[in-house]
Amino acid sequence: MPSRSFQDSSRWSDLWSMTWPQVLMLLAQFGIGLTDVWAGGRLGPDVQAAIGLIAQCHMVLMTIGIAAANGAVAAISQSLGAGRERRARRFTGLTLASGMAAGSILACLGGLFRQELPALMRTPEHLTVPAGIFLTAYLWTLPGQYFLAISTAALRAAKSVRPALLVALGTGALNIWGDLAFGLGWWEFPRCGAAGLAWSTFASVTLGASILLICLLRSDLLQRDSLPPRRWLRAGGGYLLRVCLPALGTSFLWQTGFVLVLIITMTLPGDSVNALAGLTAGMRIEAVIFLPAVACQMAVAVLVGRNLGRGEKREAQRTAYAMLALAVAGMSALAALLWFARDALAGMMTDDVRVHAETVRYLVFNFLSVPLMVANLVLVGVFIGAGATHYPMWSYALSVWGVRLPLSWWLGHILLQSSSGVYWAMAVSQCVQCAMLLWALFRADWKRFALARRS
């Protein structure tokens, strides 16, 4: 048996080797979002606010894709950990086929109700035109985004992260170039404004999805036997549904909840447009911390899934503890450094004095909440890897819908009548969620939801 010190060294090595490529991939996405918001701010506060509004609407439409990606990570990582490669290929084929079908259907439905969606979100009249431009482009982007999410999750579960990393870096650079060239008209290209920003995203996502399809076809994950036979679907499809449906609930509760937070912010008694623009800019700056934490979530999900696939429940528990300690300590230290630069960071995002003040206000609350936010993300990753996705679902149901939304409305519209009320509610809801997830980690038997090794 390997020594305890060797196991500890191997665990930390696995955590690092799985996390750093995810950090770079997500930072590439952060660069895209940051450039979108920065360029939108140069086009005007209305465009900047519309980006935040429609990007969140797009994330609601991505809920099924995110759920399918979570299911792929759990099923494929556990299968490969158990040495069941054909089962892993079948799960890859099933999640890709079902995810692409769902993404295409949602894009078509969204196109049919394209005029009604902004009204449903109570979009202010002056945001209607830029919001419509972004909504149209993002709907066309949905199938490609679904494929990117699921194929990246499958490669991650197989510990083959470099192809996805290279694609993310290349297409991210293309998107940023398109924002500057066609959004702002740099280098003597035509200045298309909001349309240039929106369609640059579509072009980069479509190219990235095409390249990842080629990578999957050249790997062991997507072969002739990846489309499972009907008799296998009852068992394999059943497990995938048990993982994906709660994950879908989690994603839906979170994304729709945040849309309602945006609506509460848009309807504040004070300067709601600048509050929304400041919230949008603040979220992009916060992504410097949020995205590495998401990378830790992705890494720990794969490693926990692999450990459970091999039947190593104690090692799965130790991996969860190690990542929790590493992520919270590292991201809290980064937040402490960024705290002193929050005013300068806000100034990089906008020239508008009122939007700048709102951005700084958002950063104050969220930098203080970093330990809670990071812990929540890592714990969700642990339960995704184990296939125990109902624990995150219930935590989001109570913390977001039971605490954050009613408290945001009461503090923002009644008591404080400002965006500070919304931010206080976000911090309180994170405390509630963290308490629930920690209870599940220490007290619940979350490891029993993994696939049986011989199934």
Domains in the chain, number: 1
Pairwise CA distance, residues 214 & 410, whole Å: 51
Q: Which residues of 181-214 are buried (b: 16+ CB within 10 A; e: fewer)?
A: bbbbeeeeeeebbbebbbbbbbbbbbbbbebbee
How many whole angstroms from its chain centre is CA 55? 12
Pairwise CA distance, residues 429 & 254, whole Å: 12
Q: What's the pLDDT at 453?
A: 59
Regarding pTM above 0.75, the answer is yes
Residue 352 lies in a domain: yes
Q: Other C-beta atoms within 10 Å of 344: how many?
A: 10
- pLDDT 10s digit of each residue in the chain, 455 long? 455 554 566 677 777 778 888 888 887 877 787 788 788 878 887 787 777 777 777 777 888 888 889 999 999 999 988 888 888 899 998 999 888 899 899 888 887 877 767 666 666 667 777 878 888 888 888 999 999 999 999 998 988 888 888 998 998 899 899 999 998 899 988 888 888 888 898 999 999 999 998 888 888 888 877 888 888 887 788 888 899 999 989 888 887 888 788 888 888 887 677 787 788 778 778 877 888 888 899 999 999 999 999 888 999 999 999 999 999 999 999 999 988 888 888 887 777 788 888 888 888 888 899 999 999 999 999 999 999 999 999 999 999 999 999 999 999 888 887 888 888 999 999 999 999 999 999 999 999 988 865 55
Give the pLDDT score at 452.
65
Report phi then psi at 375, rounded to 5: -60, -40
Distance, CA of 331 to CA of 290 (rounded, Å) = 8
DSSP 8-state symbol, 341: T
Residue 216 maps to a domain: yes
Q: Is residue 262 assigned to a domain?
A: yes
Note the pLDDT of residue 110: 80
On whether residue 455 sits in a domain, the answer given is: no
C-alpha–C-alpha distance, residues 60 and 54, integer Å: 10
pLDDT at position 437: 96
In a domain, 211, yes or no: yes
- Examine residue 440 and state whether it is found in any structural domain, yes or no: yes
- The pLDDT of residue 317 is 92
Range of the domain at 123: 4-449
Q: Give the Cα separation of 303 and 319 in Å (integer).
A: 7
Residue 220 lies in a domain: yes
Residue 435 is encoded by which pair of tokens? 């308490």
Residue 454 lies in a domain: no
d(CA 27, CA 29): 5
Distances from the Cα of 351 to the Cα of 41, 127, 176, 369, angstroms: 8, 19, 20, 26
Neighbouring C-alpha atoms within 13 Å toward the C-beta of 387: 25
C-alpha angle with apex 51: 184 to 367, nearest 5 degrees?
110
371: left (phi over 0), alpha (psi -120 to 50) or beta: alpha
Q: Please tell me the predicted confidence (pLDDT) of residue 1.
A: 46
